Structure 1
Amino acid sequence: MSPPIVTFLTDFGAGSGYPAQMKGVVLQRLPAAQLVDLSHEVPHFDVLAGALLLEACAPRFPLAAVHCAVVDPGVGTERRALCVVDPEGRRLVGPDNGLFTPFLGEGARAFALEDPRHVPAPESATFHGRDLFAPVAAFLAGGGDPEWLGPRVEAPVRLRWPAAAREGATLRGECLAADPFGNLVTSVRASDLEGRPVHEARVEGRPARFVRTFGEGRPGELLVLVGSGGRVEVAVREESAAARFGLARGAPVVLALG
């Protein structure tokens, strides 16, 4: 039998001791668990950036994996704590602040973490990752049923989740988040292109060239391409598009399709 898998995504920073404390809590309860870091470098408090990373990473794991995600500027407040079970059966644990928006499609279920038989009372008001979410992730990875955690939540928080708008042969989207290379993920998905060629691209009014891969770009050239996560991205070869062109969340992207 394969060992249970628990993944971790946070904005704590790789140099902090907080992720290690969460892992220790899981291993105390589930010594055979396989622990995987998705990222601890989500920009601080940036729930949308965390949601995009989860969208890219979680589907690459076996469905039996449990994903513990903590980007939680509201820790210790009245915001709910959740377990989300997506339509495919994927399980995610974390705050009810929109972090799980990509997994809340039709058929998804969400449960509040409230039943004291399976949900511990946090020792600290400021570290629910260690005291609440990690123990619940271990419980689920060890075979616990999400329905045992607490009542059903019918309306979990959802982020504004931009999508591409089509106007004839034109797609309009926007930049959402920059990765560590300075490439900007956009709201345009590969599927929005419908396999059609891109004849013209503009990013915040600047002309860009649509390419297949980074290496096709010329030094300093603004590029648009389909990234590995299935979204259109804005890039510069061997540079940061975000830094070179001052691009940030909300920058408009316009693609003219053939």
Structure 2
Amino acid sequence: MRALVLSLFALATAISDAEKSLAKFLVNRTEPADEPCFRAEFVVKIRSDSNNQGGELDFNEIKPIVGLSNKNVNRNESNCDLLQIDGIVTDDGGNYSLAFVINVVEKSEGQEWWEIKEITLTNTFDQVQYKNDSMQHIAAPLAGTWGQSFLCNAGFNVELWSENMDHFVTINLARLQIQPHKVPADTFANPVICEEDINIVIPAIVGSILGILVLVVLVTYIIGRKRTRIAYQEI
């Protein structure tokens, strides 16, 4: 009984910590009306090359940033094409500002797409900026049709490099959902799901179907055996 209580307490603590690290942000446009035009939520981890030391990158050792909220949005800089989050404090004492820059493109006549053009991370102590403006090369291209959100629960890494390319910082974005411009009032629109999530969901669905089939076969076998036994006894 005591072990069960401790397990439930540990599970509740883990869920609580996970929710504390899930940051939610919203930017409103003011014209022509006061309405949302950029919504995002994610869990972020930050790792610099100094504590990577050339070894294999393992974000399991890094704690997610906690305490971020909509209050961290820089209202002077943020708009429908840019989300800037200030006051990101890491365990090693770093203080950063994270920005997502949106680009709207027309891929076919009458259909517009949005994409993340650039992610920047600025060290507010020394004003060194780390940037990645080649987002199409990461594992999960951050893009969607106009009026759609982008969803990636599994998460992925993005390398951000300094201007002279001699230092880099890697960020890990998980439980990410983001949507610029045509944003519903209180939620996200239907998402484009990243490849990482699809690779997890499809095996889970296949496994569930196989499990159901095994259960059906087992139940059918038990019923068949029971009927055979009854028929044998009647003879």
TM-score norm. by structure 2 comes to 0.27
Q: Which protein has greater RCO, CA pairs closer than 8 Å, 6+ apart? A: 2
TM-score norm. by structure 1 comes to 0.26
Larger helix fraction of residues: 2
**Which has the higher Rg, Structure 1 or Structure 2?**
2
